[in-house]
Structure 1
Amino acid sequence: MLDGTDWILCFKNGISVACKRYSPDFQLFSWTVEEMSLTSKVEHKVVLDTAAWSFNIVTSVGIIIVNKALMATYGFTFATTLTGLHFAATTMMTLFLKRLGYIQSSHLPVSDLIKFVLFANFSIVGMNVSLMWNSVGFYQIAKLSMIPVSCFLEVVLDRVQYSRDTKLSILVVLLGVAICTVTDVSVNAKGFIAAFIAVWSTSLQQYFVHYLQRKHSIGSFDLLGHTAPPQAASLLLVGPFMDYWLTDKRVDNYNYTFISVMFVVLSCAIAIGTNLSQFICIGRFTAVSFQVLGHMKTILVLILGFLFFGKEGLNLHVVVGMMVAIVGMMWYGHASSRPGGKERLPPPSNNKPEEAIGLVKSNEYDEKV
């Protein structure tokens, strides 16, 4: 059969297929479909990760532009109530998906649900109050501080270890975004307290998105189905009073027009995608990666703002800041995906329970970026 030319013999064995290559000197080279399927799985993951990030960026930037028009042009300044409407729309979406069978019945302990809703609502209210009581510059600094706080939570609660390059890339992102966004910086006692509450509650809420999916083995849709209804109910109950305190205006006295109502509906529709994409991204990655790579949205919002609302804010230091931030994000993506770039250490070997303080038992490295 062997005539001096290479030939390939392939045979099927159940699901797997093995191919063997014979050469004239009878040297054997083999490879299996399992090896090739590993490559296809990696490519499939890259496609899904890219789609998740793109979905989040598009919806997040879209809702910022719509809300800016709604509040600045049409005077609907009731941010907390609007967020409650966002979660009400998200709740209706999850109920619809549940009827279609896309959301399966799953269990989430009431204690975990209460903690999540508290963190999420304090995050929303805290951010609104922080923006009211602080300068824009300090507000941006507070938002940037969520990255080191999220890192701290992962190091302490999940025993995550970062490589030197990963840490440096995070610093580069922080520097670039700070150059872009931080202008005047002034702080007062009550503003600092509001920012402190906002930063920690937001970081804990985002940590819990990843933690609860991993702990209870539930998907993004399932977790959103558990958390959206209580968030909608609590924010719609508290929102009008909070907005009246912040703006001295009552939501029921607002002059509703057809166009303003359509903008509210559009905002709610986009918010469904924003909420879902956040849960998907943090579930697939981590809160730190979501914060670091998520600052691409900040860059896009700045660019779109210059395009649609004038270029008076566009100057050299903003452009330099954008470039530095983008380089930092690319470096972070490369550094954190390398072996040892970001990994979860195994728990210490002792006789104490491995699951303590609500942590998840885990002996494997964290494969998420």
Structure 2
Amino acid sequence: MEEKGPSIELNGDEVSPRSSTSLPQWEKPEVSVPSPIKEQFITALWILLNTVATLGLIFCSKRVFNDEQLHSCQLLVVMWHFTATATVLYLATRSPFRAFNAIRLSPWDLAPVCAFFAAYVILGNLSLAYNSIGFYQLAKVMTTPCVVLLNFMLFRKTITRYMLIAIFAICIGVALTVRSSAETQLFGIVIAVMAFTATALYQIWIGKKIEDFNVSPQQLLLNQAPLSVLLLVPFVPLFDAMPDIHAVPTSVLWSLFASGIMASLFNLSQFLIIGRTSALTFNVVGHLKTILILSFGWYSEGTVLSQKEICGIILALGGGWVYSHLSLSRK
């Protein structure tokens, strides 16, 4: 009679080692291995770089557009940002960085994407030029409800009841902060609405094109940034007044140069954060950056907030944070 081998008890059931194809618990490989300290440190550096680049880009651009001559050079400033971004991304594909592989896409396929890209950047710069930093940043929070509305109108995509409540909180919060800006700068309010609508359209379109082209965001950006510069060239004589560089203060020119570097570092670090961590991490970083930008903006402008405006900020940021977590948990 054949002697039975030893049996192993797992969760109350006896399993023979010879009859089971699964490995014993102590022999199973670990599913998730913690990131080494070095990798965590590098990720933290990219997050820090992204935060610094965001703050630097906003404050440098605000200083540039406060200059009388450069205030009328919106397209030229955008073209400089596109050129700097394309240059940094191209260098990132070369040795020793090799952050991603460069590919070439058809300019005809990219033309609509470039049009949306240019529109949202130009309108964003105009919003920054005609609004305070605080209101500019809060208006950007309205991009989320705008994406939801456009997705429903274009693709009949719906959201849950709790996500809708979060959207209403964002809208009410931003509305409470509009009061002081609406009294002095109606044109700035209109530009801000156009800016976050164009941003929402760009985000929807870019997501679709990344899927259609089967490329990474940075590969698409490397192709569309230089093409966007060429797309804007014919419009410069119509909308921009050529500045007298010698009359522009040296400090403002340095701010202009720094804004292009910050724009490129922001784009590159944004892609690397998502690639190294997750969308949840990037959303948390985004909301922390919003709070920092609002704080620095109002502090630099000497703004004293009313209780209604403070409630509006809490509602807008809280609604955006809740919506981000609810949308991620649906995936």
Contact 1:137 1:183 in 2 (8 A): no
Aligned residue among 88, 92, 98 for 2:93? 98
Residue equivalent to 2:212: 215
1:20 aligns with 2:14: no
Could you tell me which of 42, 55, 68 is aligned with 1:61? 55
Written as runs of structure 1 = structure 2, the 5 A alignment for 1:145-224 is 146-155=143-152, 160-185=157-182, 198-224=195-221
Deviations 1:32-57 (A, max 9, x none): 436x32x869xxxx999998776554
The question of whether the paired residues in 2 share the 8 Å contact of 1:62 and 1:270 is answered with yes
Deviations 1:17-40 (A, max 9, x none): 94426xxxxxxxxx9436x32x86
8 Å Cα contact 1:137/1:182 also seen in 2: no
Question: Is the aligned partner of 1:256 residue 2:248?
Answer: yes
In the other structure, the counterpart of 2:327 is 336
Name the amino acid aligned to 2:314: M
Counterpart amino acid of 1:104?
A: N
Q: Tell me if 1:121 matches 2:118.
A: yes
- Which position in structure 1 is the counterpart of 2:13? none
Question: What does residue range 241-252 of structure 1 map to in structure 2 within 5 Å?
Answer: 241-244=238-241, 250-252=242-244
* 8 Å CA contact 1:98, 1:104 repeated in 2: yes
Match of 2:74 among 76, 79, 89: 79
Q: Distance in 2 between matches of 1:239 and 1:20?
A: 68
Point out where structure 1 has 5 or more consecutive residues left out of the alignment.
12-16, 22-30, 245-249, 342-366
Closer/same/farther in 2, CA of residues 272 and 69 from structure 1, 3 Å limit: same
Does the CA contact (< 8 Å) of 2:141 and 2:316 recur in 1?
Answer: no
Change (3 A) 1:294 1:177: farther
Q: Which residue of 1 aligns with 2:105?
A: 108
CA contact (8 A) 1:224 1:279 kept: no
Percent of pairs identical after alignment?
25
Measured in 2, the distance between the counterparts of 1:180 and 1:174 equals: 10
- CA 52–140 in structure 1, closer or farther in 2 if over 3 Å, else same: closer
Residue aligning to 1:33: 29
Q: Shift of residue 204 of structure 1?
A: 1.9
> Matches of 1:276 and 1:198 in 2, distance apart?
22
CA contact (8 A) 1:138 1:185 kept: no
1:177 CA drift (Å): 3.1
1:266 alignment partner, one of 250, 253, 258? 258
Q: Secondary structure at the match of 1:235?
A: helix
Normalised by the length of structure 2, the TM-score is 0.70
Aligned length: 306
CA RMSD of aligned residues (A): 4.6
Alignment partners' CA distance in 2, 1:48 and 1:214: 28
Q: CA deviation at 1:128?
A: 5.7
For the 8 Å contact 1:210–1:282, the answer to whether it is kept is no
Question: Against the structure 1 CA distance between its residues 132 and 305, is the aligned structure 2 distance closer, same or farther, given a 3 Å change threshold?
Answer: closer
Asked if 1:326 is matched to 2:322, the reply is no
Deviation at 1:174, TM superposition (A): 2.7
**Which residue matches 2:294?**
302
Matching residue of 2:14:
none
- Larger strand share, 1 or 2: 1
* Structure-2 change in CA distance of 1:132 and 1:269 (3 Å): closer
**For residues 187 and 257 of structure 1, what CA distance do their matches in structure 2 show?**
28
- Preserved contact between residue 85 and residue 236 of structure 1 (Cα < 8 Å): no
Letter in 1 for 2:81: H
